[in-house]
Amino acid sequence: FRQAKLGREHVAAEFWKMLYCLLRQVCEDMSRVDTPPMVDQVEYVKAALAHYGYGLRDLYCLPADGSAGSRELLLAFSWLLQKINLLKQLMNVHRLRLGDETSLCTCRRADALDLAEEAVTRSRAWVDIRRLQCLHGKLCFRWRALHSAEHERCAALYKIHSYTRGCSTDLNTDHLSVMETRLIQDPKHGTEMLQLLELESSWLEAYLEWKQCEGIYWQWMESVLNAKLEEGQASDTQDHANANKVTVPGQLSTHTDNYLIGEIDRLSESLGNLQKELQQIVSDRTALWHEKMKVTERSRLGSEELELIKRDVEQKLTRVRATSERRGKHGNFRLVLQASPTVAGVRRSVPDARRGEGALTASDTIAQLKVTQTELRDQLQKARWLCKETLEEYAERLQGVICIPPMKRAGNPADTGQSAPL
């Protein structure tokens, strides 16, 4: 870390490997990570940092061979510690899961249609439609494979929970988990579990020691950031000096008359000052012109247009408030088999009196997901109609072009509704 503060290049490769290993574990929930070539590691780290919102451009300009950028990587590592709570996420990945858990996320960051429109406005490059169709086909294939694997996992969990009912001593459940069933089937796994528990305890102790020294680390990182800023200011000053420097031809450099060289330097300084004054005048007049245009546009707007704008703003504000108030569940949840209360002789796995405040039932979650599915389908239908209208406007400008709508696939819920013409 001290070598990285000084910008030593020989430690850059180790930082790239460390960030790749950490981000791969956090992003993909993997306890073991392979070691691809350095070019792939650098590309993965840059993509992961961009996904989390890291905004320092110097890191993305580093070479792909991993031979430079030790200080930038140190700053990125410290940013991850604070931004995504990297250590807690790593401990969550490596913790020993005694119960059967599943991850659930019903949060909605923003309206899907608004995100699509924002992506369209940001994208300026043309993309081949065949590439999009190929990517869509791969995504559907992998989604079906993932769905079938999850279905098989849930079926196996249901068999284990139903067959081991009444064997657990836990107050919240009356069935065994997969880990407990494995220990009963082969008691030799108890030694392995004990080693994993000791390893997890050592990680917890190390995390407690880190919390005690965290303040010192951030004070030291302030010096790293100051060194980075000083180096940036020095490079900017050097670039500015090189830009204003006058290159004297060889004939004048050997001439003994220094008066002409001094005149050239004074003229270049005067030109620089005039350029700064001209830029300031242009910026002032541009700002004044923008203000005048705003006043003119406001005066031209009628009452009906102002009412439409006001209504649109109120709708967006209402949508944002509803989204903030209706925050979905997010995180890992323990799976507990709950018997039907109508069946006689069978008690519930989690009685209402002992159920936690954050507990969820499968029926409530499914109902909430169905409502979300209906809303997303409506947004998809709206997006299709907008795409259809846009394509019709483009087709009207072309002569001799016939738009043929695609064939509908029977039994595919994603193709419900009218398709847009190609």
**Whether pLDDT at 376 is above 80:** yes
Residue 399 sits at the vertex; the CA angle it makes with 393 and 402, to the nearest 5 degrees, is 75
The model's confidence at residue 109, banded by pLDDT at 50, 70 and 90, is low
The chain-wide mean pLDDT, for the chain, equals: 75
Computed on alpha carbons and rounded to an integer, the radius of gyration of the chain in Å comes to 32
Residue 340: its pLDDT value, please?
Answer: 56
Q: How confident is the model over 145-166, as pLDDT tens digits?
A: 999 998 999 899 889 888 888 8
Percent of the chain scoring above 90 in pLDDT: 6
With a cut of 80, say whether residue 309 has pLDDT above it.
Answer: no
Residues sharing a CB contact under 8 Å with residue 161, sequence separation 6 or more, in sequence order:
100, 175, 176, 335, 337
Which residues does 117 contact at the CB level (< 8 Å), separation at least 6?
A: none
| pLDDT at position 312 | 80
The residue with greater pLDDT, 329 or 73, is 73
Structure tokens at 136: 């869509």
Taking only the tens place, the pLDDT of each residue in 202-244 is 989 999 999 998 889 888 888 888 887 777 666 555 554 444 4
pLDDT above 70 as % of the chain: 71
Confidence class for position 322, pLDDT limits 50, 70, 90: low
123 has pLDDT over 80: no
pLDDT of residue 149: 93
- pLDDT score recorded for residue 232: 66
pLDDT top residue among 178 and 415: 178
> Each residue of 256-307: pLDDT tens digit?
345 556 667 777 788 888 888 888 888 888 888 888 777 776 666 566 667 7
**Pairwise pLDDT comparison (331 vs 188), residue with the higher score:** 188
Residue 352 clears pLDDT 60, i.e. is over it: no
What does the pLDDT average to over 379-395? 86
